[in-house]
Amino acid sequence: MDFLFLAELFVNGLSTGLMYSLVALGITLIYKASGVPNLAQGAMVMLSGYLVWAVVSLLSWPLWLAIALAVVGMFLFGLATERWLLRRMVGQPVIMIVMLTLGLDIFLRGFVPGLLGAAPKRLDLGIGLAPIIVADVFVNRAYLVGAIGAMVLIAAAMLFFRTRLGTKLRAVSDDHVASWAVGISVERAIGISWGIAGVAAVGAGTVWGSVQGVDWTLSALLFPAIAVVILGGIDSLLGVFVGGLVVGVLGSVIPGYLDPIVGGGTRDVVTSVLIVLTILFRPYGMFGREDIERV
């Protein structure tokens, strides 16, 4: 067994996994606050990737300004989605809400590439392509930057839940009616969680856009992100972090050895099997809160 090969797969899996966490972060934030599974997060990542690309390439403004603009834009987009779409679905069965976010996902997948062009676009963050070599292990530089960005954002989200606003959000996620009774605006808290999910999408869109180009395939990141949140526990930030690492490593090491044998495409299989096994054996994930149901 080639140890170097394994180490390389492992390290690259870690960084890819952290980048999956970045996509999954938005899903967890929204679910934590409002109990809505946001299947449009992949499309929001794609939208922010396109936004950053459009400002950089079409307006030829500097990158930092583009990211700042995208952050503002996606925050407003999140607020608007919550205000005009999700708030009207309060009290509907979960299938309606799932389908609504899926409808939004389909709409964005048509609208954004339709407007800005479907061909893959290059988004250059100025990282460079030369790999970093640590003790003979090749590490992809772009993935490393993505992983660091992911860790910073997840840490920021964890810190955010310690602030006054974050405490309110935690209260809302615990109990809507009780937080209403003590004077917290539940609607605003949920809206803000959508806005922050939009900001997280900008991080994911920029990083993933620079790695694999900006086009509709960015929205397909939803699938590994779902695996991350299911595995880690859908309402846990720590779960996003650890789940991302596990999904990334398994999704890199297993295909690394299996792909040459069965002819490719095993990464999706690993992701699917992870989802199915988690749901069968521990539905609320590693760190999620177990729901207790009453008749």
Partner 1 sequence: MFYRLSGVHHTRYEDTRRLWPIPADRRLVAVLFLLALSAPLWLSELYLQNYLLPWLIWSAATLSLTLLMGVAGQLHFGYAAVMAIGAYSAIHLVRLGVPFELAFIGAGLVAAVIGCLFGAAALRVKGLYLVMATLAMQYLVDWVIVNVPAISGGAHATLQAPEARVLFFSFADGLTRYYFAFFWAVFMTLFLLNTKRTSFGRALVAIRDKDYAASVIGVSPFRYKLLAFFSSSFFGGMSGAVLAFCFYRAVTPEQFGFNVSTQLVAMVLVGGLGSVIGAYLGAAFVLLTPMILSNGIAALSDAGWLSVSANLLAHLPLMIYGALIIGFLLAEPLGLAKIYDNMRNYFLVWPFKHSRR
Largest Cα span, the chain: 61
Minimum CB separation from partner 1 for residue 193, in Å?
17
Q: Which is nearer to partner 1, 160 or 223 (CB)?
A: 223
Check binding of 180 to partner 1 (CB under 8 A): no
Q: How far apart are the first and last CA of the chain?
A: 54
Residue 64 CB neighbours (<10 A): 8
Judged by CB under 8 A, the chain residues 92 through 131 that form the site for partner 1 are 92, 94-96, 98-100, 102-111, 113-115, 117-118
Rg (CA), the chain: 19
Query: What binding mask, one character per residue, do residues 233-272 give for partner 1 by CB under 8 A, x or -?
Result: -x---------------------------xx-x--xx-xx
Check binding of 292 to partner 1 (CB under 8 A): no
Q: What does residue 134 show for φ and ψ, rounded to 5 degrees?
A: -115, 115
How many chain residues touch partner 1 (CB under 8 A)?
Answer: 46
Check binding of 199 to partner 1 (CB under 8 A): no
Tokens read off for 20: 């999956």
Minimum CB separation from partner 1 for residue 1, in Å?
25
Check binding of 210 to partner 1 (CB under 8 A): no
Q: Which is nearer to partner 1, 41 or 140 (CB)?
A: 41
Judged by CB under 8 A, the chain residues 8 through 67 that form the site for partner 1 are 37
What are the distances in angstroms from CA 207 to CA 4, 140, 196, 201, 266?
26, 13, 17, 10, 24
Q: How many residues does this entry show for the chain? A: 295
Q: What angle do helix axes 186-212 and 63-84 make, rounded to 10 degrees? A: 140
CA angle 22, 27, 32 (to 5 degrees): 120
What residues line the site for partner 1 (CB under 8 A)?
37, 85, 88-89, 92, 94-96, 98-100, 102-111, 113-115, 117-118, 223, 226-227, 230, 234, 262-263, 265, 268-269, 271-273, 275-276, 279-280, 283, 293, 295
